[in-house]
Amino acid sequence: MFSDPDVIKASRKFICVRIESYESEENQKIVRSHLGGRFENTAFCVIAPDGEERLTRSGRGPQHISRDFDDIATIADRYKSRGDILDSRIPDFNSFALALNVSSADQKILLLIAGNETEMATAGKRIRSIVWNKNVMGRFNYDFESDRSSWTGPLSSKSKGSGFHIIKPGEFGLEGQIVKSLPLNTSNANLLQALVVANRGYAKSTKKKVYSSHVVEGRRQGKRIEMAIPFGEDRDGDGEIDHRAGSGSRRR
């Protein structure tokens, strides 16, 4: 859904924060607060600029709030932006494994910015004009990593140094392929061109996922992803997670 061109266009009027229960205990508490304490992977709600007031009811996704996303988009018209979008930080993931898995689910190219803390901060600030370009916004995912051991394993490439690594996620988000690597000092024009070319090739070679059949195939192949927070509830109070029937680890 979040790759839908109409949703991308409408989302530009908002600051979009993506929170999943599996990322951390703190995130899980936020999701539960929107679903009456129920455990689910994520929730959806439109919140006022103060970060507190809920402007819509909460649900599992936009489709549970309104039948037409355009109705949600009109809420932003009541709150005019006062800042410069180029001052906005680039969205980052809690881990590379999560970035790769979400990119596979979203069917988006992932741009990995790898380097030490100073290199990443400098590069991240410089490429904001690309990330927030109206023709690019919402079409890619981004991840910043200083520990190369966190990302070299899942990738089918010998490139292990710092740089911009444009990654095509695998079918189940457990591995990926670096389609192009560029040094961190490459020009914005070169990086933008590389992203556009990679995205065009990915779109042509990738079929849209049908979630139901995708899950069935993942289970058949035994594909699993271990998240920071286990799936399930401690229903009997023994301190152990009671998984839902047939769930086990989360599958893609």
- Span 2-19, pLDDT tens digits: 566 777 777 778 888 888
- More confidently predicted of 79 and 187: 187
pLDDT at 148: 87
Q: Give 47 or 210, the one with higher predicted confidence.
A: 47
Sequence-ordered strand ranges (E) for the chain? 109-114, 140-145, 163-169, 176-182
- Report residue 13 as tokens: 């009027």
Q: Which of 226, 1, 20 is nearest to 107 (CA)?
A: 1
Please give the pLDDT value at position 246.
Answer: 41
Of all residues in the chain, the percent with pLDDT exceeding 90 is 38
Quote the pLDDT of residue 127.
96
* Residue 160, pLDDT above cutoff 60: yes
Predicted TM-score (pTM) of the model is 0.79
2 or 191, higher pLDDT: 191
Work out the mean pLDDT of the chain and round it to a whole number.
85
**Which domains occur in the chain, in start order?**
5-82 (no CATH), 87-205 (3.40.30.10), 214-252 (no CATH)
- Residue 129 zone, left/alpha/beta (φ > 0; ψ -120 to 50; rest): alpha
DSSP H helix total and E strand total for the chain = 8, 4
Nearest to 155 by CA among 173, 137, 175, 135: 175
